[in-house]
Each structure stands twice: as C-alpha cells, then as structure tokens.
Amino acid sequence: MVDLKVYFHVIAKNKTESGGYLSKVRIQEQMKVLNDSFSETGITWSLANTTYTVNPEWFLYADYDIGVEKAMKSKLRQGGVADLNVYSVSFETSELSGFATFPWLYKARPLLDGVLLRYTVLPGGTRRSRGLGKTLVHEAGHWGGLLHTFEGGCDLDGDKVRDTPPTLETTDCNVDSDTCPQLRGKDPIYNYMSYSNDFCRTEFTLGQIHLLRSTLSRLRNIQF
C-alpha cells in the first residue's frame, strides 16, 4: 500500500460557492470518493494542502488558454513527480468535466502536471450526471497512465488492457450496450475509465490495476 499526496487548488471567480469557492467539506467528500474508488489498487490518497485563489481569469480560461494555465500552475503547483495537483476551475469555454496530464509528459513539462477539474463535479455538484465525484477518479487514472476504455474504438489493443472489452464511447448506464458486437464482451459501462455517468462507474479491472501500478512505478518513481 502506498500513500500519495494530493494538493488541491481552488480557483474561484469570487468568494461564493457559485463562483467556484469550494468548501473544505466538499473537498473532504471528494477525497473520500477518491480513496473509496482506489481501495482495490493498493493506493491511498492524503490531502497534503488546500489553497484558495480568487482569480477570474484563471477560473474562466485555464482550460482554454495555455498561457493562463501555465501561469496558474507555475504559481500554485506543489510537490514533485509523485504528487497529484488538482485545480478546480470553471471550464467555461468547453464541455469538459476534467482534464489530466499523463505521466510520460512529466519530464518535458513538469509544471503543467496535474488535473484540471470542473468545480461542479465534486460530490453534490450540479454538473448533470457528474455529481458524485467520479470525475476526479477518472482523471487520477489518466494521471497514473490509464487510457479510456474506448481508446481505439473496436481495436483489440485500444487501451492496452486485456480485460476491458473493446468499446466505442458511451455516456449512459445501459447494461445491454455492446458497441463492438463482433468482439468479446459488452461495453464496460461500470469502468471508471469509461464515459458512463457517475451512477454506474464503480470499478477498475485487474488489468488496469496492474498497468496503473507498473506505470506509476516506472514513470512517477512510486514503489509498491
């Protein structure tokens, strides 16, 4: 079992909840979801620090303007290659719920490493189908080296994991969904690395856990 540090950076337009100023209770609830979801992986997460920054430009445009994102992360990022930095912003200019950097990008762009998270997707958030906190679980999976279950579509080797059936992108919880019927298995709608809504995303496969641990060990110097 390894314990990884999380640095949570709240970026807000003003000091109201609707302006992105998340309460510490909401952040603690998100940390519980993160830990519950990774309980089978041998990874726990500890909140090392929480920062609050009122900056409307960062809040609105960090996901759109790389200069804004770079300025924000250069100022706020803490820790090293093995530490997860999370930045809650508005994603005003896109439909994204979150965005993560992959571990193989760290060496070239260490200051950009981390997760951007829409502030409305924490537990109790107002983002449709994304209000249970599973978005950070999904993005932390990317940060650890996991790809989408639908990577490559019906390509057998799409996400580099053998026990996730090939699938096209799906966003609902239809248990009968089978977008690659010519291949093995129905769509992995319960997988955290799918685009299913939060109500049905509940698992990582053994193959994903193996890939996650090996990638973290190799590229983030985390020893299990």
**Distance between CA atoms of 87 and 62, rounded to whole angstroms?**
9
Residue 125 in any domain: the answer is yes
Residue 188 in any domain: the answer is no
- Is residue 221 scored above 80 in pLDDT? yes
Task: Identify the band that residue 212 occupies on the pLDDT scale cut at 50, 70 and 90.
Answer: very high
Residue 41 in any domain: the answer is yes
Residue 93 in any domain: the answer is yes
Catalytic residue annotation = 139
pLDDT tens, position by position, 156-167: 888 999 999 999
pLDDT reported for residue 156: 81
Task: Identify the band that residue 95 occupies on the pLDDT scale cut at 50, 70 and 90.
Answer: confident
Residue 28 in any domain: the answer is yes
Q: For the chain, how many structural domains are there in total?
A: 1
Do the strands 2-12 and 43-54 form a parallel or antiparallel pair, or are they unpaired?
parallel
Residue 119 in any domain: the answer is yes
pLDDT reported for residue 65: 83
pLDDT reported for residue 172: 87
Residue 129 domain boundaries: 2-133
Mean pLDDT over each residue of the chain, to the nearest integer = 96
**CATH number of the domain encompassing residue 34:** 3.40.390.10
pTM score of the predicted model = 0.97
